[in-house]
Structure 1
């Protein structure tokens, strides 16, 4: 059984901008199914693509199954079966033995930057980098599947 344990955080923009970052990867993704209890996502990351099935999130955990698929088929799925999509640049940053994935969104989610860390258990302790701020793990607005239908630009300040 596949299980994902992930926590999400907002960033301190000033400290993030000052950080010497590795090259980011452009991601394009859409949802074939965007049911709150289960999602089916297609993602393209430059030269690779995946089909991902995720269950309902409980706390910071959910079932997740991910399969690499041919790039051409992923593009066809995005173009023909996904009602809308989002784009972002993902940076992978190693810090204290953990990989942080930082997503800088574009398009209708321009201005949103979210950092995620995958854990082995919900109780696992980890050190936050100085550029990590408030935790938003349980705030459903920050789920990628929700950013498709309720993008960051539509949020009230």
Structure 2
């Protein structure tokens, strides 16, 4: 094998070996936010601008990178069936780069049944642009009894 082919083969192998480090680096957009973890509840102001109460508990949360930003998905559980118009309501970004979303939902207009947990689960999602994500180091989804967090 001539010297140029050997040099090319060695440089190709070195380049491919270096790509594994990129997979774990902070430059890789797929690593921007990890799996969510339970977090202490955030102290919320007594008077909220939104009349909807917080969801009873946040079961899961994920931050999925997409071109132009990320989608925050959350799943919560309500005490009964029939809750509606769920939304992640953003609060101002805190000084240390924490973005808090309140998981708010309207209660049913009348009396409803309590059935299986699966039938009482509600999914919500919200898009966050890259511009807003630049200042964010952690995203929190807050429920009435718990919160979940995903960190960079």
Q: TM-score, normalised by structure 1?
A: 0.25
The structure richer in strand per residue is: 1
Q: TM-score, normalised by structure 2?
A: 0.25
